[in-house]
């Protein structure tokens, strides 16, 4: 088996099917009774939202390839047509499981906790009267029912909006009798309405907006008979297309393209399970979809709207316990971040440690008269960003502020355009990176005059500069004023804002230039050590692993005898445990309270470990089509922290870990008779206050 062809398709798992396996793991947490009840509801909603995005981006691309007649297969040898068939079967099973968990587990358990979704067949007279008033006063004035006839063609349906197809009998005042109408739920109203306490059995009784419309749909068509009313929701292609080589202003081009995201090509139709065969296929014809694109669901078609319930219900006993992020001792009793950095590098492990020092770093730089310039990359920041506020203040104070805003951060384009406009209005230099390459690197550079010299202070991170996700995503951030790293970051900003050939960096690895090549060399070095009989080990943690050449390099290292542990949260196309290729590789996925987002790479290096953190996953897009940085953690004390906090606890986790099997499926590890160990809980106890 030693001469096995490492490029053979059987060694590669399909990327799309691996993504659906991740959604299945998220969904398992919705059924896990050890997870607080309202958090289980969140996980259900997250699985639904993930599936929405999967269709909007991944399925849309495959459908376009299939429609164009593309037959080119990926490393797994599945062409777009075959992949779509497998996706349909898997996604249908996943959706069926979502609604089974909702109906058989979550709704009954929520009711036991006095959180109820009151069905219209169970409304009391008092509740029915309140609902009728709500319909007449809040809903009816903004509804526009549309009968279908030659003068009223089928309306444009907004992506993921709630709609109703209505079957009618009789003629209206003008003698029309098309028999079909469409009612679009107003976007301005919530999909769940909290019933007043005086007509509820408990403090948390809700009715669905869809139930209210169902109950009073007859009022929308006076004098006619409603013979059927069925919810439906359409998922559309949400990928934006902007030809960067043929436009003059990327920001204005994206602003013009954003509204079209709501009306891309139809991909998936969800209808209530009581929808008739005739009406469901009428809708399929309207959207030019096939039977495999139809999903009939036993509940609300807009499942992700249930995400509002945990925020509306004040039940701490049904949620994860609150926590206060900790602070490294060196930052806990000082307001001068620069002084701390001059005494040595500082590592932050979010969300267990606070994101506040990052904001304080930029705030201090904005107010410090000795700071001459601030440069930062922004990929995702949120609509209201404290960091953007600080950068605006710095620009107003007359400092040289340069911000590389990635306008094409998917689904955050509008927020990033808003931030770019604010910064430009304040006088900051705003650029949008390099045509054809997303800027995904996470960097802040502060240039400060200190006596007769200039010193560079740097923050590098694995995650986005986003205060909200810093409380829910695991990421590492490094503060340093190391001269070589400061020079490297300065050069990367030069590349992003100016023109010129690739500049050699001293310590940082950069995509698309040196990161891939160096990672391959680091893997090969471990393989060489193993062949010489030396201990060899690789531990790598990332969000996704799909780049075929990196997978092949790992197979080669495994075959040489390197022990390889991969902690891959989401997509993993490597197939572990295959004799002659990957029997020394174990792949695990940790899914829990926090979204595992850090990218950490450890190479044993014959007893002199090389430890890196990066903004990049091991995917083709990250290694070849994005601007990414990967930074070494040279301080041995901090490198040990990375190993002891970012890797080892995940290898020991027996509570929230799934092992990837060679057939592409995952098996959840159970503690059994052993003490339960959760990496995330361990880090909360160790680092948080």
- The DSSP secondary structure of 123-179, one letter per residue, reads --HHHHHHHHHHIIIIIGGG---EE-BTTBPPPP--TT--EEEEEEES--TTS----
Give dist(CA 64, CA 80) in Å, integer.
9
Q: What is the mean pLDDT of residues 95-112?
A: 98
Q: Is the pLDDT of residue 244 over 50?
A: no
CA distance 337 to 296: 56
Structure tokens at 576: 């572990």
CA distance 206 to 131: 11
Indicate whether 280 pLDDT > 50: yes
The number of beta carbons lying within 10 Å of the beta carbon of residue 215 is: 18
For the cut 60, the answer to whether the pLDDT of residue 259 exceeds it is no
Question: Under CATH, to which class is 11-318 assigned?
Answer: alpha beta
Q: Which residues pair with 33 in a beta bridge?
A: none
Sign of the C-alpha dihedral computed for residues 467, 610, 507 and 408 taken in this order: negative
Strand order in the sheet with 225-236: 146-147, 180-184, 163-169, 225-236, 266-272, 294-297
Q: Please name which of 402, 434, 571 lies closest in space to residue 500, comparing C-alpha atoms.
A: 434
Residue pointed to by tokens 């958090």: 39
Q: Indicate if 396 belongs to the active site.
A: no
571/552 Cα distance (integer angstroms)? 16
Rounded to whole angstroms, how far apart are CA atoms 510 and 626?
Answer: 9
What 8-state DSSP symbol labels residue 616? -
Domain boundaries 329-503, CATH class: alpha beta
Measure the CA angle with vertex 427, ends 430 and 360; round to 5°: 80
**Tokens found for residue 377:** 């990359």
Spell out the alpha helix ranges (H) of 153-276.
209-216, 250-257
- Positions of E strands within 323-442: 346-350, 371-378, 400-405, 429-431, 438-439
pLDDT for the residue 37: 98
Beta carbons within 8 Å of 108's beta carbon, 6+ residues apart = none
Contacts of 54 (CB under 8 A, 6+ apart): 16, 19, 20, 23, 91
**Can you give the pLDDT at residue 176?**
61
Residue 2 structure tokens: 């030693």
Q: Whole-angstrom Cα distance, residue 642 to residue 645?
A: 5
pLDDT tens, residue by residue, 543-555: 999 999 999 999 9
Mean pLDDT of 267-296: 96
Comparing 73-77, 91-95, 115-119, 612-616, which segment has the lowest mean pLDDT? 73-77
pLDDT of residue 175: 62
Quick one: pLDDT at residue 2? 59
Phi, psi (5° rounding) for residue 135? Answer: -60, -50
Please state which of the ranges 79-88, 381-390, 456-465 shows the lowest mean pLDDT.
381-390
Q: Cα torsion for 20, 61, 616, 429, to the nearest 10°?
A: -140
Task: Express each pLDDT in 609-648 by its tens digit.
Answer: 999 999 999 999 999 999 999 999 999 999 999 999 999 9
Residue 596: the pLDDT is 97
Task: Taking residues 643-669, report their average pLDDT.
Answer: 97
For 439-472, write each residue's pLDDT tens digit. Answer: 999 999 999 999 999 999 999 999 999 888 999 9
Question: What pLDDT, in 10s, does the model give residues 579-599?
Answer: 999 999 999 999 999 999 999
Domain coordinates of the chain in residue numbers? Answer: 11-318, 329-503, 510-687
Predicted pLDDT at 382 = 72
The pTM of the full predicted model, rounded to 2 decimals, is 0.93
Integer Cα distance of 528 and 247 in angstroms? 49
Residue 495 and residue 54: Cα distance in Å, rounded? 33
> Which of helix, strand or coil describes residue 88?
helix
- Helix, strand, coil abundance in the chain, percent, nearest 5: 40, 20, 35
Q: What is the pLDDT of residue 246?
A: 43
Return the sign of the alpha-carbon dihedral for residues 572, 577, 583, 586.
positive
CA–CA distance, 659 with 667 (Å, rounded to integer): 5
**Cα pseudo-dihedral 485, 489, 492, 498, rounded to 10:** -130
Residue 245's pLDDT is 43
Nearest 5°: phi and psi at 241? -115, 120
Q: For residue 430, which phi and psi values (nearest 5 degrees)? A: -115, 125
* The pLDDT value given to residue 503: 83
Q: pLDDT at position 110, please?
A: 97
Give CA–CA dist 434/420, Å, rounded.
16
Q: What is the predicted pLDDT for the residue at 262?
A: 63
User: Contact at 8 Å (CB) between 331 and 357?
Assistant: yes
The CA distance from 588 to 653, in Å, is: 10
Which tokens belong to 677? 């160990």
Residue with tokens 């036993």: 298
Q: Please, what CATH class does the domain formed by 510-687 belong to? A: alpha beta
pLDDT tens profile 179-203: 899 999 998 899 999 999 999 888 9
Edge to edge, what strands does the sheet with 115-117 contain? 115-117, 204-208, 192-194
Report the alpha-carbon distance of residue 117 to residue 313 in Å, rounded.
Answer: 13
Over the chain, what is the mean pLDDT?
92
pLDDT digits over 406-415, tens only?
876 565 677 7
Residue 28: CB atoms within 10 A of its CB come to 18
> Is a pLDDT exceeding 60 seen at residue 491?
yes
394 in Cβ contact with 465 (< 8 Å)? no
Residues in the chain: 689
Distance CA 604, CA 591 (A): 26
Backbone angles phi, psi at 123, to 5 degrees: -65, 135
Predicted confidence at residue 412, as pLDDT, reads 64
Which of the following is catalytic: 204, 216, 304, 440? 440
Contact by Cβ (8 Å): 470, 351? yes
Q: What is the pLDDT of residue 16?
A: 96
- Poorest-confidence range of 7-21, 229-243, 306-320, 391-405? 229-243
329-503 shares the fold of 11-318: no
Of residues 672 and 423, the one with the higher pLDDT is 423
- Cα separations (Å) of 342 from 263, 455, 641, 659? 53, 10, 20, 43
Q: Is the dihedral of CA 597, 599, 602, 608 positive or negative?
A: negative
**CB 210, CB 229: distance < 8 Å:** no
Q: What is d(CA 501, CA 460) in angstroms, rounded to the nearest whole number? A: 23
Asked if the model's pLDDT at residue 254 lies above 60, the reply is no
Dihedral-angle region of residue 342 (phi above 0 means left; psi in -120 to 50 means alpha; beta otherwise): alpha
pLDDT of residue 85: 96
pLDDT tens, residue by residue, 497-535: 887 777 899 999 999 999 999 999 999 999 999 999 999
**pLDDT class of 243 with cuts at 50, 70, 90:** very low
């Amino acid at each position: 088996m030693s001469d096995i062809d490492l490029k053979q398709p059987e060694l590669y798992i399909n990327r799309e099917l691996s993504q659906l396996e991740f959604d299945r793991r998220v969904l398992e947490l919705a059924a896990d009774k050890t997870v607080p009840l309202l958090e289980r509801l969140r996980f259900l909603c997250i699985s639904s939202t993930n599936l929405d995005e999967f269709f909007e981006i991944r399925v849309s691309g495959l459908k376009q390839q299939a429609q164009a007649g593309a037959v080119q297969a990926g490393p797994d040898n599945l062409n777009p047509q075959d992949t779509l068939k497998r996706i349909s079967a898997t996604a249908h099973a996943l959706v069926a499981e979502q609604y089974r968990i909702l109906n058989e587990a979550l709704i009954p358990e929520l009711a036991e906790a006095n959180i109820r979704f009151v069905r219209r067949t169970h409304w009391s007279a008092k509740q029915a009267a309140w609902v009728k008033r709500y319909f007449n006063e809040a809903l009816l004035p903004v509804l526009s029912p549309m009968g279908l006839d030659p003068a009223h063609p089928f309306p444009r349906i907004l992506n993921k909006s709630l709609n109703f197809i209505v079957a009618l009998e009789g003629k209206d005042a003008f003698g029309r009798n098309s028999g079909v109408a469409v009612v679009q739920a107003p976007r301005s109203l919530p999909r769940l309405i909290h019933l007043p306490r005086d007509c509820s059995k408990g403090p948390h009784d809700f009715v669905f907006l869809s139930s209210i419309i169902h109950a009073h749909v007859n009022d929308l068509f006076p004098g006619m008979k409603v013979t059927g009313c069925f919810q439906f929701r359409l998922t559309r292609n949400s990928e934006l297309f902007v030809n960067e080589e043929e436009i003059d202003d990327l920001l204005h081009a994206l602003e013009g393209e954003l509204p079209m995201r709501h009306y891309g090509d139809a991909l998936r139709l969800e209808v209530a399970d009581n929808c008739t065969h005739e009406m469901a296929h009428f809708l399929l014809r309207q959207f030019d979809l096939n039977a495999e694109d139809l999903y009939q669901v036993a509940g609300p078609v807009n499942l992700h709207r249930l995400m509002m319930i945990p925020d509306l219900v004040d039940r701490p006993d049904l949620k994860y316990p609150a926590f206060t992020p900790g602070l490294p001792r060196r930052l806990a009793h000082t307001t001068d971040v620069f002084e701390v950095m001059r005494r040595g590098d500082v590592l932050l492990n979010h969300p267990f440690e606070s994101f506040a020092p990052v904001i304080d770093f930029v705030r201090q730089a904005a107010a410090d008269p000795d700071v001459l310039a601030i440069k930062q990359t922004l990929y995702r920041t949120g609509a209201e960003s404290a960091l953007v506020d600080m950068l605006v203040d710095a620009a107003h104070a007359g400092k040289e502020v340069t911000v590389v805003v990635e306008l094409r951060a998917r689904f955050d384009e509008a927020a990033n355009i808003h931030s770019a406009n604010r910064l430009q209005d304040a006088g900051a230099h705003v650029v949008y990176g390099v045509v054809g390459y997303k800027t995904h690197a996470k960097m802040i550079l502060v240039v400060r005059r200190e006596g007769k010299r200039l010193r560079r202070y740097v923050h590098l991170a694995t995650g986005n500069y986003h205060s909200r996700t810093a409380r829910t995503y695991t990421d590492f951030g490094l503060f340093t004023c190391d001269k070589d790293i400061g020079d490297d970051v300065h050069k990367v900003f030069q590349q992003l804002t100016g023109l010129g050939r690739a500049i050699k960096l001293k310590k940082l690895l950069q995509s698309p230039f040196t990161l891939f090549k160096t990672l391959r060399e680091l893997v090969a070095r471990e393989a060489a050590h193993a062949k010489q009989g030396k201990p060899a080990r690789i531990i790598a943690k990332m969000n996704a692993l799909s780049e075929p050449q990196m997978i092949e390099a790992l197979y080669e290292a495994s075959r040489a005898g390197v022990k390889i542990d991969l902690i891959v949260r989401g997509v993993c196309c490597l197939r572990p445990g295959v004799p002659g290729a990957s029997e020394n590789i174990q792949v695990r996925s940790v899914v829990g309270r926090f979204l595992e987002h850090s990218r950490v790479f450890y190479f044993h290096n014959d007893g002199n470990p090389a430890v890196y953190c990066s903004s990049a996953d091991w995917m083709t897009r990250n290694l070849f089509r994005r601007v990414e940085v990967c930074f070494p953690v040279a301080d041995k004390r901090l490198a040990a922290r990375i190993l002891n906090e970012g890797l080892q606890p995940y290898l020991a986790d027996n509570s929230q870990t799934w092992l990837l099997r060679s057939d592409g499926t995952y098996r959840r590890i159970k503690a059994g008779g052993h003490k339960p160990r959760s990496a995330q809980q361990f880090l909360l106890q160790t680092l948080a206050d």
